[in-house]
Chain A
Amino acid sequence: MVRINVNGEERQVDVSDDMPLLWVLRDELNMTGTKFGCGIAQCGACTVHVDGTPTRACQTPVGMLTPDSKITTIEGVKGKAAQAVQAAWQKLDVVQCGYCQSGQIMSAIALLTDNQNPTDQDIDAAMDGNVCRCATYVRIRAAIKDAAQTMRA
Chain B
Amino acid sequence: MLHHLIRQAAEHGFPESGFAPGPLPAPARRGFLKAIGAGAGVLVIGAHLPMPALAAEAAPKIIGPADPRPHAFIIVAPDNTVTVLAKHLDKGQGIVTGLATIAAEELDADWSQVRGAFAPADQKLYANHFFGLQGTGGSTAVANSWDELRMAGAAARAMLVAAASARWKVPAGEVTVAKGVVRHAASNRSATFGELAEEASKLPVPQQVKLKDPKDYVLIGKPDLHRLDHVSKTNGTAIFSMDIRRPGQVTAVLARSPRFGGTVKSVDDAAARKVPGVIEVVSLPVGVAVIAKNTWAAIKGREALTVTWDDGKAETRGTDAMLADYRKAAEKPGSVAANKGDADKAIADAKAKGGDAVDGEFVFPYLAHAPMEPLNAVVALNPEGGCTIWAGSQFQTVEQMVVAQILGCKPEQVKIETQWAGGSFGRRATTNADYIAEAAMIAKAYPKAPVHLVWTREDDIKGGRYRPLFLHKITAAVDAKGELVGWKQRIVGQSFMAGTPFEAVMVKDGVDATMVEGASDMAYPVANLAVDAHTLASPVTTLWWRSVGHTHTAYAKEVMIDRLAKAAGKDPVAFRMAMLKDHPRLAGVLKLAAEKAGWGQPLPQGKGRGVAVHESFNTYVAHVADVTVDAKGQIKVDRVVVAVDCGEVVNPDIVKAQMEGGAGWGIGHALRGEITMTDGVVDQANFDGYLPLRMSDMPVVEVHIVPSHERPTGAGEPGVPTVAPAVANAVFSVTGQPLQTLPFSRGGIVS
Instruction: Indicate if the CB atoms of B423 and A35 lie closer than 8 Å.
Output: no
Instruction: Enumerate chain A residues within 8 angstroms of B695, measured Cβ to Cβ.
Output: 123-124, 127-128, 130, 137, 140-141
Instruction: Give residues 27-62 of B contacting A (CB, 8 Å).
Output: none
Instruction: Indicate if the CB atoms of A135 and B296 lie closer than 8 Å.
Output: no
Of B6-14, B231-239, B622-630, which stretch is located at the interface? B231-239
Instruction: Indicate if the CB atoms of A19 and B701 lie closer than 8 Å.
Output: no
- Which of the residues B92, B237, B295, B665 comes within 8 Å of A97, measured between beta carbons? B92
Instruction: Indicate if the CB atoms of B245 and A95 lie closer than 8 Å.
Output: no
Instruction: Indicate if the CB atoms of A133 and B234 lie closer than 8 Å.
Output: no
CA distance A100 to B234 in the complex (A): 10
Instruction: Indicate if the CB atoms of A27 and B420 lie closer than 8 Å.
Output: no
Instruction: Enumerate chain A residues within 8 angstroms of B663, measured Cβ to Cβ.
Output: 135
Instruction: Give residues 231-276 of B contacting A (CB, 8 Å).
Output: 231-240, 242-243, 245, 251, 276
Residue on A nearest B293 in the bound complex, by CB: A27
**Given A98-B92, A98-B420 in contact, is the A40-B686 Cβ separation under 8 Å?**
yes
- Which of the residues A42, A97, A124 comes within 8 Å of B373, measured between beta carbons? A97
Task: State the Cβ distance, B65 to closest chain A Cβ, in Å.
Answer: 32
Of B77-85, B500-508, B604-612, B653-661, which stretch is located at the interface? B653-661
Instruction: Enumerate chain B residues within 8 angstroms of A100, measured Cβ to Cβ.
Output: 372, 422
Instruction: Enumerate chain B residues within 8 angstroms of A90, measured Cβ to Cβ.
Output: 226, 230-231, 234
CA distance A141 to B697 in the complex (A): 12
Task: State the Cβ distance, B524 to closest chain A Cβ, in Å.
Answer: 29
Task: State the Cβ distance, B715 to closest chain A Cβ, in Å.
Answer: 12
B374 adjacent to chain A (CB < 8 Å): yes
Task: State the Cβ distance, A102 to closest chain B Cβ, in Å.
Answer: 5
Instruction: Indicate if the CB atoms of A135 and B660 lie closer than 8 Å.
Output: yes
Instruction: Enumerate chain A residues within 8 angstroms of B92, measured Cβ to Cβ.
Output: 95-98, 134
Task: State the Cβ distance, A146 to closest chain B Cβ, in Å.
Answer: 13
**Given A37-B372, A37-B457 in contact, is the A32-B687 Cβ separation under 8 Å?**
no
Instruction: Indicate if the CB atoms of B251 and A27 lie closer than 8 Å.
Output: yes
B116 adjacent to chain A (CB < 8 Å): no
Instruction: Indicate if the CB atoms of A45 and B372 lie closer than 8 Å.
Output: yes
Instruction: Indicate if the CB atoms of A128 and B231 lie closer than 8 Å.
Output: no
- Which of A37, A38, A96, A131 has the largest number of chain B CB atoms within 10 A? A96
Task: State the Cβ distance, A76 to closest chain B Cβ, in Å.
Answer: 9
CA distance A127 to B657 in the complex (A): 19
Instruction: Enumerate chain A residues within 8 angstroms of B93, measured Cβ to Cβ.
Output: 96
Instruction: Indicate if the CB atoms of A128 and B694 lie closer than 8 Å.
Output: yes
Task: State the Cβ distance, B89 to closest chain A Cβ, in Å.
Answer: 11
- Which of the residues A16, A93, A97, A127 comes within 8 Å of B372, measured between beta carbons? A97
Instruction: Indicate if the CB atoms of B457 and A102 lie closer than 8 Å.
Output: no
A80 adjacent to chain B (CB < 8 Å): no
CA distance A105 to B688 in the complex (A): 22
CA distance A86 to B237 in the complex (A): 13
Instruction: Give residues 11-28 of A contacting B (CB, 8 Å).
Output: 15-16, 19-20, 23, 26-28
A73 adjacent to chain B (CB < 8 Å): yes
B294 adjacent to chain A (CB < 8 Å): yes
- Which of the residues B373, B458, B668 comes within 8 Å of A135, measured between beta carbons? B668
- Which of the residues B238, B239, B245, B657 comes within 8 Å of A93, measured between beta carbons? B657
Instruction: Indicate if the CB atoms of A38 and B686 lie closer than 8 Å.
Output: yes
Instruction: Indicate if the CB atoms of A35 and B234 lie closer than 8 Å.
Output: no
Instruction: Indicate if the CB atoms of A131 and B372 lie closer than 8 Å.
Output: yes
**Given A97-B371, A137-B698 in contact, is the A42-B294 Cβ separation under 8 Å?**
no
Instruction: Indicate if the CB atoms of B236 and A139 lie closer than 8 Å.
Output: no
A153 adjacent to chain B (CB < 8 Å): no
Beta-carbon contacts of B415-454 to A below 8 Å, as 1s and 0s? 0000011110100000000000000000000000000001
Instruction: Enumerate chain A residues within 8 angstroms of B694, measured Cβ to Cβ.
Output: 128, 131, 137
Instruction: Enumerate chain B residues within 8 angstroms of A23, measured Cβ to Cβ.
Output: 294-296
B91 adjacent to chain A (CB < 8 Å): yes
B692 adjacent to chain A (CB < 8 Å): yes
Task: State the Cβ distance, B551 to closest chain A Cβ, in Å.
Answer: 15
Beta-carbon contacts of B342-373 to A below 8 Å, as 1s and 0s? 00000000000000000000000000001111
Instruction: Indicate if the CB atoms of A124 and B696 lie closer than 8 Å.
Output: yes
Instruction: Enumerate chain A residues within 8 angstroms of B236, measured Cβ to Cβ.
Output: 32-34, 73-75, 102
Instruction: Enumerate chain B residues within 8 angstroms of A101, measured Cβ to Cβ.
Output: 233-234
Instruction: Indicate if the CB atoms of A43 and B687 lie closer than 8 Å.
Output: yes
- Which of the residues A30, A89, A99 comes within 8 Å of B234, measured between beta carbons? A89
CA distance A20 to B456 in the complex (A): 14
Instruction: Enumerate chain B residues within 8 angstroms of A141, measured Cβ to Cβ.
Output: 695, 698
Task: State the Cβ distance, A29 to closest chain B Cβ, in Å.
Answer: 11
Instruction: Enumerate chain B residues within 8 angstroms of A133, measured Cβ to Cβ.
Output: 370-372, 423, 425, 665, 692
Instruction: Indicate if the CB atoms of A97 and B423 lie closer than 8 Å.
Output: yes
A94 adjacent to chain B (CB < 8 Å): yes
CA distance A127 to B688 in the complex (A): 16
B311 adjacent to chain A (CB < 8 Å): no
Task: State the Cβ distance, B232 to closest chain A Cβ, in Å.
Answer: 8
B110 adjacent to chain A (CB < 8 Å): no
Instruction: Enumerate chain A residues within 8 angstroms of B473, measured Cβ to Cβ.
Output: none
Instruction: Indicate if the CB atoms of B237 and A33 lie closer than 8 Å.
Output: yes
- Which of the residues B240, B251, B296, B653 comes within 8 Å of A19, measured between beta carbons? B296
A138 adjacent to chain B (CB < 8 Å): yes
A81 adjacent to chain B (CB < 8 Å): no
Instruction: Indicate if the CB atoms of A27 and B295 lie closer than 8 Å.
Output: yes
Instruction: Indicate if the CB atoms of A36 and B294 lie closer than 8 Å.
Output: no
A132 adjacent to chain B (CB < 8 Å): yes
8 pairs of A and B residues whose beta carbons are closest in the complex: A135-B664, A33-B236, A99-B422, A97-B92, A98-B233, A96-B92, A74-B236, A32-B243
Please name 5 further chain A to chain B contacts, defined as beta carbons within 8 Å, in addition to the given A90-B226, A98-B92, sorted by A numbering: A93-B230, A97-B422, A124-B695, A134-B372, A135-B661
Please, could you name 21 A-B residue pairs with CB atoms under 8 Å apart, sorted by A? A23-B296, A32-B239, A32-B242, A35-B242, A36-B454, A38-B686, A39-B686, A40-B687, A89-B234, A90-B226, A90-B231, A93-B230, A95-B229, A95-B233, A96-B661, A97-B371, A98-B233, A98-B420, A99-B423, A124-B695, A136-B657
Interface residues, chain B, with chain A CB atoms under 8 Å away: 91-94, 226-227, 229-240, 242-243, 245, 251, 276, 294-296, 299, 370-374, 420-423, 425, 454, 456-458, 653-654, 657, 660-665, 668, 686-688, 692-696, 698, 700-701
